[in-house]
């Protein structure tokens, strides 16, 4: 996985030279100590909080140095896991990232990625810019590009592969306790990846706005997308289940999401940045808020279709369903009439919860929403695919619409909540592990489900930690 072992033929000589220059160590006017002087790391309740500040290259270098062990672990995990689940080795991901993503990145993000690789090498880890680009774009490649390749080879074979993950809401006006915005999100993921989704990034770039977001080690974006900035823009999302469509010539979603966090100051800015060069990957229902206007929006972004709903008095929820009939018909295979599937069951539960708490929604009951275990099909408590705090590892059906087999080790892996008052000060509450507080113990799971023993090299315990307040400082 180290070194430039593959050179994509489609990359132009000019771009290749730039990539190689950015991927090797350079002599810097500043010493390593000076480059790290403004950066900090603090480990708190299962999270690693990083403060990064400076030029794109230095921000990347700080990130790579301070998270060297975690990024190395993440890259080794993905090389193992993706080979097992997609049949593609890591070199395939490097090639795809170099060919489709690298040359479309703005120079500042090329520099930041190169800085991460440089920081890793300073800590004795031999990775380059293509490794980090592939890491950032792994969801786009795994769940959109590979299915698109399968679809070309055999129509219909690319169905049902786009992930359906996460539960989220945003509310404002008469729906919240103080009439201002409240936003919450829990990340649904394979536990093998999600238990590593424990980074809080506080980024102060040379250009644009300060950003506070959760993230995965080595990401320049949030990835599960809970972010806010110094201009008062905040956003989160849930993916569109069973979406299909991908444009190899488009701009990678991970850069557009980071750019929206860094340069967006309004809902209009967010829509403009996310739709420009849209490649269809990581098709989402984005839930966006603007503190200056107290307005919220649902931005439903496919490849062929996108639609925007906006209000200053209402709420938008997300549980991996799309709302636009045209997008549903043209770009998904999702069954909106199946009340037993996870997205539809959770959508119904969202409506119940938010209606019940109209006028009361605040950070405290936002945390309770993300921890909720009511299955509307059963009319009571459950731990399965159909509750907001998902536990698919306890579900005998799995989640077929996500292509998760029975008892698949996946579900809600962490949660976040913020309010307008907190977001104005760049603060949010976060809980690592199941938002409900239940621990996942790998050894116990493997005894009950030896069919997943193959994940043992990297699947570990996921302990639930307390809700913790994080802030940019």
As for how many domains the chain has, the answer is 1
Is 386 part of any domain?
yes
Evaluate whether residue 366 is within a structural domain. yes
**Whether the predicted pLDDT of 15 surpasses 70:** no
* pTM given for the model: 0.93
Q: What is the tens place of the pLDDT at every residue in 158-182? A: 666 677 789 999 999 999 999 999 9
- For residue 84, tell me if it sits in a domain: no
CATH number where 423 lies: 3.60.60.20
Predicted local confidence at residue 294, as pLDDT = 98
Q: Is residue 117 part of a domain?
A: no
Half-sphere exposure of 372 (CA within 13 A, CB side): 29
Asked if residue 10 is part of any domain, the answer here is no
> For 318-324, what is the mean pLDDT?
96
pLDDT at 19 over 90: no
147 pLDDT band, cuts 50/70/90, is very high
Q: Which structural domain, as residue segments, surrounds residue 344?
A: 167-244+252-471
Is 459 a domain residue? Answer: yes
Structure tokens belonging to residue 69: 């062990």
Query: Could you read off the pLDDT of 374-416 as tens digits, one per residue?
Result: 999 999 999 999 999 999 999 999 999 999 999 999 999 999 9
Residue 120 lies in a domain: no
- The answer to whether residue 372 sits within a structural domain is yes
């Amino acid at each position: 996985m180290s070194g430039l072992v593959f050179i994509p033929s489609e990359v132009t000589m000019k771009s290749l030279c730039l990539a190689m220059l950015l991927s090797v160590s350079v002599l810097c006017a500043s010493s390593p100590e000076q480059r790290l002087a403004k950066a900090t790391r603090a480990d708190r309740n299962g999270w690693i909080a990083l403060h990064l500040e400076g030029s794109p290259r230095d921000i990347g270098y700080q990130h790579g140095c301070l998270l060297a062990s975690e990024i190395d672990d993440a890259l080794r995990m993905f090389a193992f896991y993706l080979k097992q689940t997609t049949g593609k080795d890591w070199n395939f991901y490097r090639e795809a990232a170099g060919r489709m993503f690298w040359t479309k990145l703005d120079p500042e993000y090329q520099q930041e990625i190169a800085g991460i690789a440089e920081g890793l090498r300073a800590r004795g880890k031999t990775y380059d810019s293509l490794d980090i680009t592939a890491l950032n774009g792994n969801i786009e490649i795994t769940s959109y590009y590979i299915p698109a390749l399968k679809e070309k080879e055999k129509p219909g074979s690319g169905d049902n592969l786009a992930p359906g993950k996460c539960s989220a809401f945003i509310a404002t006006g008469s729906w919240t306790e103080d009439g201002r915005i409240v936003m919450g999100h829990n990340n649904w993921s394979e536990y093998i990846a999600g238990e590593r989704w424990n980074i809080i990034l506080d980024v102060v770039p040379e250009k644009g706005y300060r950003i506070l977001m959760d993230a995965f080690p080595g990401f320049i974006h949030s990835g599960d997308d809970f972010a806010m900035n110094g201009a008062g823009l905040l956003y989160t999302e849930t993916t569109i289940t069973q979406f299909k469509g991908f444009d190899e010539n488009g701009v990678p979603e991970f850069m557009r999401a980071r750019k929206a966090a860094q340069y967006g100051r309004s809902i209009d800015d967010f829509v403009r940045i996310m739709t420009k060069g849209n490649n269809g990957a990581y098709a989402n229902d984005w839930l966006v808020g603007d503190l200056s206007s107290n307005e919220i929006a649902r931005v439903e972004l496919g490849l062929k279709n996108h639609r925007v709903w906006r209000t200053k008095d209402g709420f938008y929820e997300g549980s991996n369903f799309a709302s636009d009939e045209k997008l549903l018909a043209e770009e998904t295979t999702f069954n909106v009439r199946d009340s037993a599937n996870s997205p539809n069951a959770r959508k119904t539960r969202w409506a119940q919860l938010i209606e019940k708490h109209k006028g009361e929604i605040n950070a405290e009951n936002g945390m309770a929403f993300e921890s909720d275990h009511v299955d509307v099909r059963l009319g009571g408590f459950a731990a399965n695919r159909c509750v907001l705090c998902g536990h698919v590892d306890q579900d005998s059906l799995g989640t077929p619409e996500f292509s998760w087999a029975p008892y698949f080790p996946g579900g809600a892996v962490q949660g976040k909540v913020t309010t307008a008052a907190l977001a104005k000060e760049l603060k949010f509450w976060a809980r690592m592990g199941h938002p409900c507080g239940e621990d996942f113990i790998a050894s116990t799971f493997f005894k009950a489900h030896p069919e997943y023993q193959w994940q043992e090299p990297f699947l570990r315990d996921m302990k639930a930690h307390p809700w913790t307040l994080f802030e940019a400082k």
